[in-house]
Each structure stands twice: as structure tokens, then as C-alpha cells.
């Protein structure tokens, strides 16, 4: 524990750099190369810094368990198996998803530089943390980023069904501006992501109605009973349609798992998940003057932000605005980790013989 | 009226070929070349055949009014103004959107053949009918199609706001299979598209709660009062986020209108709309064996379709399945047009001196 511990609080603030270092040494202890361990540590700590609490260090014990159970390859050879001017298919060799998708993003950026747009798919990958980590990567190159994935466990049936054949298959779209934070949408195709359900369970809080229903179609609000029901898609059949199509594009098209093939990575730690994702980079200069475009994005931000509000609303938020605020705060003050999470990370460190957080 | 008129009914069945021909002769009468008029007629009739009742011949009087008011160019020179290996920006020269986006789709298909994927944006375009018309175009070339657009009138505020700065900005994603109908998602980012509201008004039917709210945040169910309220996005802030990001990608990136710049094409018939759209074609062969991929899509279809149902559901539907059924029926039996619509089309024909439908 670092100096930022709040006495008496349920949460302990941890510096991003400490988190990054801790994750890296844990992953190196279970067999990753120091370069790969450092890369994943940086991305997972960034997930926490940006407020994706269900997708950062919270997942570390589970990742370690999967590596130790032989379900994830600590020494992968990630390679491009198909390629055209504006596309690539990356075989992740069962690596941690963070390694596969940061590589895929690099390839997409490189190809979009000359072709204008690039679409890079991946198979034989794993859970990669929050979608926005990868959609954000093209931003620094004056590109729009789009990321879709097959989620790592099925949590919803097709609309009108009861068999969980679909995951919350997320989409993230990132668009750069100049004066304001980047616009970054990062959403599950369900009213709530399953990571949020897990967080509610850990905090012992009830879920709002609309997140889940049980097998009779009744609202389910106890997160500890989450395995007795399923998540609800946004807009009913529309969210189901999005989850299905994103699944075909991120999974089936890449030769990755979809539908009944999806392994529940919360329950099964040894079976190959063959997770699929895709990232698209769109070079802004292929369509517009980059500076003018960013100024227009600023105007859109300002226009939305300053427009009149409905009774009961304090402010109008832009996609990614909340996350940008959290990022600023957490980079300065650290990430609040719950006592329970801290204990599990301490136990993990002790078992692996690496220094605690 | 054709022979398929049902005596005493409120609806009159019209053959697709008759609809195609009628639309073409009306558009030729207001100045389109016979080639362009025929192309639009075919696409608009296809919209009706596929069940997009708010986007087919129903829109003809409005299109004619816009052309006659100088708000749409009947003799456009559509041209590519920026281009890279996998991208193009098409300037529509204020043509009917159908002409701009069918051209854009052709370019996308051609480029995706060699580059693997292509993204073609358009500006200075207009309302183009249902999104799926264009997303479907790559299917015949063993490609996935994706289409997004800025809607032609703003009908929703940012989440928590009251100023209608956003349209229902739709997305369509089309994926080919082999044994079953293609999977074609075509959805507004609102719980209901505005075209559906217009249809309800024409049918004198109330809207279900959830489609619209008024400026106090109360449910609005009378479609004739639609201009007193706004549409609700799917999943609340998520649908708002999608509408915003699709608007930036289909509008702002292409130098097309977005936000306050959007002209309400239901009320203003002469101002340039500068409508923006984008189409993406993804060449399946760049990622997978085409035949194997289609067989896997068939398996996904079968898996969803045959899975157990919630109480109260007769069947599980796949995206595009309802439309495929309607298409089969309407190609055989014609499109049912309401008495009111028929009368307005007769009046239009008489005024322009072309044979009635």
C-alpha cells in the first residue's frame, strides 16, 4: 500500500506508476517477457486511470489464474497470417489480448497512413480490457479509431430467447478534437456491461432494474445472483442486433469464437478462448484538413455542452468526458482500490514472491 | 391503380415494377436524366419491397417538392474529390442521395476488391432512403457492407438536453450467408425512426410510450404532435453516443452538415442540406475463406433461431429476417399502399402530366 491510503476508508489510493509496475512484475513472475509484461502493465494501469474499474488491475488475479492453468500463452508469437493493402488478420497465438490488440492497432495505423483506412482483425486472442484502450490508439496519429470485440463470456440470449448465445460485444469509437478532451464512446451493447455487475457484487450494491432479467423475464437486481439471469440489450432487439453483427465481424470473420463456441473466461481457466476483435483506423487527412476537422469537432462539443437542459439534469456530457475527468484526477491522486481487491492483490504478490503493491 | 386492389380495403397492392416505373417517370418529369430517374426508381421501389415503408414511394412527393423548390439538383455531376487506395470522398453536387450513395457503394466495392476494405464518405448529398439499401450492395461481391448517415432532420437532443441537435443517425450492417437470408441490421439510434412516426400519423395510430417525450420529459404518444417533442435514443446515453459519433463520421469528417447545420428536410425544401453518409465494404476473402465464412454465418443463424424462447415469444428473429419475408411477399403480391398515399401520388402524377400509378 502506498502513502495515499485514506485512513478509515474502504478505498486505498494507488499511484498509476505503482499499479503499472506491480502488474508488470506479477505477469513477469508467471512467465511473460519483461517487455510484454511492461506493455500489459501499462495498458491495464491506463484502464484503471481512465475509470474502467472492471477492466484494470481488478482482472489481474483472473489473468494469472488463466496463465497458470495453461489457458493463456505467456510466450506467444503474434503474427500476421493474411494481409492486403488495408487489411490484416492477426493470429494472437493465445496471448493476452492486450498484446494482440496493441499490435493490431499499430498495424492498422501503419496501413491507414498510406491506404487511408485499415481494418485489422484478430483471432486466437483473449480478453483485452476496455475497448477504448485500442480505439484511442489511432488518435495520436490524427486518425479515428473504432474497435469491436466478442466479449469473453456469453451473458445475453438472442432477443426473445433464454439461451445465452451472445456476449455484450462492445464498440468503442474515438475521434480527436483539439481544445476539449477527445470524444471517446466506449459501450457494451447491453444496458450494463458484465464488468459493472461484478463491481456491484464486490461493493455489495444492488443493480438498478433494466440491467438484468431472470429466466422468467423478471427483473434481477442482486448482483450475486447474476448467474441466474442475463443482461438486457440496449433498445431491445436493436442492441441484440448490434451484439450479433459485431460478433460476426469481430469473431466469425476472423475465424474466432462466436455463439456457442465462446468460452466463459470467468469460469473456465484452461480452455483456449479464441477471442476475436477488430480495429479500424481512419486517416482523417484522407477526408478533410486535419486542423479544420478538429476545430469542427470542438464546435460540436461546445454546441452540445452549452445547449439547454431537461429538468433534473445538471449538465450535458459528451462521450469520454467523464472518463477524461477521472483520468485527470487519478493521474494526480491515484486510483481508489477497494480493501477487498487490495487484499487479493497482496495475496497474489505473496504467493508469487514479488513485492506487494 | 393496378389489378391487385383489394375492394373495400384501406390499402391497395401495387406491383414493384409498376412502382419503379412510376417513380422513374415522375422524377424524369421534374428534370432527372432517364438513367438517373430509373436508378432512383429502382432503389425506392426496392425500399418499399423490403418493407421500409417510411423510405420508399412515400417520400416521392417530398423529393419532387425539393427538386421543384431548387433544393435538390436534378442534373448533378457526382465526383470523387479526395482519394487514396482504400478511401474516397464523393461530392454529391446536391444530387438525390440515392444516386450519390449507390455511386459511393460502387467505389467502395471496387476499392475493397484490391485493398481488402474501403471507406467512402459523401458530402453535398441528400436523403437516400433506408440505410440497408446501400449496406446490402457489397453482399453480391462477397463483401460485408456497413452504412452510416446523418439523418435529414434533427429529432433528438443530446442526453439530458432539450435542443434537438442530433438526428436518428442510422447504421446498417449487412453480412452474407448462404442457406438463409442475408443478415441485415438496419436501425436508427433511437427507439423509433422518425419515418415510423410519420407512418403512424398517416395511419392515425398512437405511438407506444418510449418512442418520444415532450419538452418536459413526459411521454408523447400522438404522432400528430410529433413536432412538440423529440425521439428517445436506444439505451439512453448510449444511443445518444452512437448518434453523435455516427454524425461526426458521416457528417463532419466528410465536410457535411451536423448539429445545428442540419436542415430539416421535412420543413425546408430549398436550402442545401449537405447531407453526409459513409459506406464501408469489407472483402471477406481478406480475412477468411468465403465459402467457409458463409457456412459459419448459416450456423450462427441456425443456432439463434433454434434456441429456446422466453414465455410470450413465438419465434427468435434474426436481423433482416422480417424484411426478407416481406420482400418475398411483396415481390409476388405487390406493396400495400394506403388510400391517402395513393391519392397524393395520383395528384402528383396529374399535376406533372405523367400516367398515374
CB-CB neighbors (< 8 A) of B309 in chain A:
160-162
- Average pLDDT (A296-302) is 96
Query: Shortest Cα distance from A38 to chain B (angstroms)?
Result: 30
Residue A136 has phi, psi (to 5 degrees) of: -75, -25
State the pLDDT confidence band at A9, using cuts at 50, 70 and 90.
Answer: low
State the pLDDT confidence band at B53, using cuts at 50, 70 and 90.
Answer: confident
Instruction: Tell me, yes or no, whether B139 and B288 share the same domain.
Output: yes
Residue B238's domain comprises 76-190+233-306
Instruction: Tell me, yes or no, whether A4 and A123 share the same domain.
Output: no
Q: What is the CATH number of the domain that holds B142?
A: 3.30.1370.60
- Check CB contact under 8 Å for A297 and B89: no
Instruction: Tell me, yes or no, whether A243 and A352 share the same domain.
Output: no
In this structure, is residue A43 part of a structural domain? yes
Interface confidence, given as ipTM, is 0.95
Instruction: Tell me, yes or no, whether A168 and A20 share the same domain.
Output: no
CB-CB neighbors (< 8 A) of B187 in chain A:
235, 238, 241-242
In this structure, is residue B19 part of a structural domain? yes
In this structure, is residue A223 part of a structural domain? no
State the pLDDT confidence band at B285, using cuts at 50, 70 and 90.
Answer: very high
**Does the global pTM surpass 0.90?**
yes
Instruction: Tell me, yes or no, whether B82 and B145 share the same domain.
Output: yes
Instruction: Using alpha carbons, list the distances in angstroms from residue A325 to A57, A174, A182, A280.
Output: 20, 16, 12, 26
Q: What is the CATH number of the domain that holds B62?
A: 1.10.1530.10
Residues 6 or more apart whose CB falls under 8 angstroms from that of A227 comprise none
In this structure, is residue A195 part of a structural domain? no
B323: nearest Cα among B52, B57, B13: B52
How many separate domains does chain A show? 2
- Average pLDDT (A227-231) is 90
Instruction: Tell me, yes or no, whether A259 and A293 share the same domain.
Output: yes
Q: Is the pLDDT of residue B6 over 90?
A: no
User: What is the rounded end-to-end Cα distance, in angstroms, of chain B?
Assistant: 6
Judge contact between A105 and A132, C-beta under 8 A. Answer: no
Q: Is the pLDDT of residue B50 over 60?
A: yes
Query: Shortest Cα distance from A271 to chain B (angstroms)?
Result: 21
In this structure, is residue A207 part of a structural domain? no
Instruction: Tell me, yes or no, whether B121 and B181 share the same domain.
Output: yes
State the pLDDT confidence band at A196, using cuts at 50, 70 and 90.
Answer: confident
Q: Is the pLDDT of residue A8 over 70?
A: no
- Average pLDDT (A70-94) is 98
User: Mutate which of B82, B104, B234, B262 to disrupt the A interface (most A C-beta within 10 Å)?
Assistant: B234
Instruction: Tell me, yes or no, whether A20 and A83 share the same domain.
Output: no
Kindly report the average pLDDT of chain A as a whole number: 94
- Average pLDDT (B16-28) is 98
Instruction: Using alpha carbons, list the distances in angstroms from residue B261 to A95, A288, A295, B150, B276.
Output: 47, 18, 15, 11, 12
Kindly report the average pLDDT of chain B as a whole number: 94
Instruction: Please tell me which residue, A227 or B282, carries the higher pLDDT value.
Output: B282
> Can you tell me the distance from the alpha carbon of B169 to that of B167, in angstroms, rounded to the nearest whole number?
5
Q: Is the pLDDT of residue A283 over 50?
A: yes
Task: Point out the domain boundary residue: A282, A306, A330.
Answer: A306
- Average pLDDT (B178-204) is 89
- Average pLDDT (A214-240) is 92
Residue A183, classified by CB atoms within 10 Å of its CB into exposed (0-12), middle (13-18) or buried (19+), is: buried
Beta strands in chain A (DSSP E): 11-14, 79-84, 87-91, 117-125, 143-149, 171-175, 183-187, 212-214, 219-220, 229-231, 275-283, 335-338
A&B contacts, CB < 8 Å: 244
In this structure, is residue A205 part of a structural domain? no
> Can you tell me the distance from the alpha carbon of A4 to that of A26, in angstroms, rounded to the nearest whole number?
22
Instruction: Tell me, yes or no, whether B102 and B174 share the same domain.
Output: yes
Instruction: Tell me, yes or no, whether A175 and A33 share the same domain.
Output: no
Instruction: Tell me, yes or no, whether A89 and A50 share the same domain.
Output: no
pLDDT tens sequence across A84-118: 999 999 999 999 999 999 999 999 999 999 999 99
In A, minimum Cα distance to B238 occurs at A187
Look at residue B9 in the predicted model and tell me its pLDDT.
Answer: 55
Residues 6 or more apart whose CB falls under 8 angstroms from that of B292 comprise none
Residue B64 has phi, psi (to 5 degrees) of: -60, -45
In this structure, is residue B269 part of a structural domain? yes
CB-CB neighbors (< 8 A) of A211 in chain B:
none
Cα–chain center distance at B248 = 19
In this structure, is residue A125 part of a structural domain? yes
> Can you tell me the distance from the alpha carbon of B170 to that of A234, in angstroms, rounded to the nearest whole number?
15
pLDDT tens sequence across B194-228: 878 888 988 899 999 889 999 888 899 999 999 88
Instruction: Tell me, yes or no, whether B8 and B58 share the same domain.
Output: yes
Q: Is the pLDDT of residue B2 over 80?
A: no
Amino acid at each position: 500500500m502506498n502513502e495515499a491510503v485514506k485512513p478509515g476508508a474502504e478505498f486505498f489510493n494507488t499511484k498509476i506508476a505503482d499499479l503499472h509496475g506491480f502488474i508488470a512484475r506479477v505477469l513477469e513472475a508467471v512467465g511473460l517477457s519483461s517487455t510484454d509484461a511492461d506493455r500489459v502493465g501499462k495498458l491495464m494501469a491506463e484502464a484503471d486511470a481512465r475509470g474502467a474499474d472492471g477492466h484494470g488491475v481488478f482482472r489481474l488475479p483472473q489473468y494469472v489464474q488463466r496463465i497458470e492453468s495453461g489457458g493463456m500463452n505467456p510466450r506467444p508469437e503474434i503474427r500476421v497470417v493474411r494481409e492486403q493493402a488495408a487489411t490484416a488478420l492477426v493470429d494472437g497465438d493465445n496471448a493476452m489480448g492486450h498484446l494482440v490488440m496493441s499490435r493490431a492497432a499499430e498495424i492498422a495505423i501503419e496501413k491507414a497512413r498510406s491506404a487511408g483506412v485499415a481494418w485489422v482483425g484478430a483471432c486466437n486472442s483473449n480478453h483485452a480490457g476496455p475497448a477504448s484502450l485500442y480505439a484511442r490508439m489511432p488518435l495520436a496519429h490524427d486518425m479515428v479509431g473504432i474497435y469491436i470485440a466478442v466479449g469473453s463470456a456469453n451473458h445475453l440470449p438472442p432477443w426473445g430467447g433464454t439461451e445465452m448465445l451472445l456476449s455484450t460485444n462492445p464498440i468503442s469509437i474515438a475521434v480527436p478534437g483539439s481544445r476539449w478532451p477527445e470524444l471517446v464512446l466506449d459501450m457494451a451493447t447491453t444496458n450494463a456491461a458484465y464488468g459493472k455487475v461484478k463491481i456491484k457484487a464486490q461493493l455489495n450494491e444492488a443493480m438498478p432494474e433494466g440491467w438484468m432479467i431472470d429466466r422468467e423475464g423478471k427483473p434481477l437486481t442482486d448482483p450475486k445472483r447474476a448467474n441466474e439471469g442475463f443482461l438486457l440489450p440496449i433498445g431491445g432487439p436493436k442492441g441484440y442486433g448490434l451484439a450479433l453483427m459485431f460478433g460476426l465481424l469481430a469473431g466469425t470473420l476472423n475465424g474466432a469464437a462466436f455463439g456457442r463456441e465462446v468460452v466463459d473466461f470467468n469460469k473456465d481457466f484452461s480452455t483456449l478462448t479464441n477471442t476475436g476483435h477488430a480495429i479500424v483506423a481512419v486517416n482523417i487527412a484522407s477526408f478533410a484538413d486535419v486542423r479544420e476537422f478538429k476545430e469542427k469537432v470542438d464546435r460540436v462539443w461546445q454546441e452540445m455542452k452549452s445547449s439547454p437542459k431537461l429538468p433534473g439534469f445538471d449538465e450535458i456530457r459528451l462521450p469520454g468526458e467523464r472518463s477524461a475527468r477521472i483520468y485527470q484526477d487519478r493521474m494526480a491522486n491515484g486510483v481508489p482500490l477497494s480493501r477487498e481487491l487490495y487484499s487479493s492483490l497482496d495475496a497474489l504478490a505473496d504467493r508469487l514472491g514479488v513485492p506487494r503493491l
